[in-house]
Amino acid sequence: MASGVLIVESRPASPQEAAAYHDWYDNTHLPEMLKVDGFVAARRLAALGGDTFIAIYEIDGDVEAAKAALGQALGSGAMSRPVGVELTPPPTVRFFSQLGAIGQDA
């Protein structure tokens, strides 16, 4: 069971950049994120009827330590720059810690 998640909401910068955005996310960014200590799974979802997407990264272990490891990876240049991502406004980034769970995957 994950001890927390990072949820990032973003969108392509334009319809013309949508293919590059999705390619970067699926083939570059998600694999890079899973190399960061603490991040163990990732998935993306699309808003129904919209052009907004979320990425949910599952964290195993201490959420603050994973957050720090991500900051270090970003600061060191170990991760690629976003491609085709709307940056004005920037993506919404939020970390969450597990409080409780019930169900099949809990």
What tokens appear for 68 in the block? 């720090």
β-pair partners for 45: 54
User: Cis peptide before 89, with omega less than 30 degrees from 0?
Assistant: yes
Strands 4-10 and 39-46: unpaired
Please write the tens of the pLDDT for every residue from 82-99: 999 999 999 999 999 988
**What is the rounded radius of gyration, in angstroms, for the C-alpha atoms of the chain?**
14
Q: Identify the pLDDT of residue 102.
A: 77
Please write the tens of the pLDDT for every residue from 21-65: 999 999 999 999 999 999 999 999 999 988 899 999 999 999 999
Residue 2 pLDDT grade (very low, low, confident, very high; cuts 50, 70, 90): confident
Residue with tokens 């910068």: 13
Residue 105 pLDDT grade (very low, low, confident, very high; cuts 50, 70, 90): low
The CA distances from residue 71 to 67, 68, 77, 99, in Å, are 6, 5, 10, 24
- Domains for the chain: give ranges and CATH numbers: 4-97 (3.30.70.100)
**Total residue length of the chain:** 106
User: Cis peptide before 12, with omega less than 30 degrees from 0?
Assistant: no
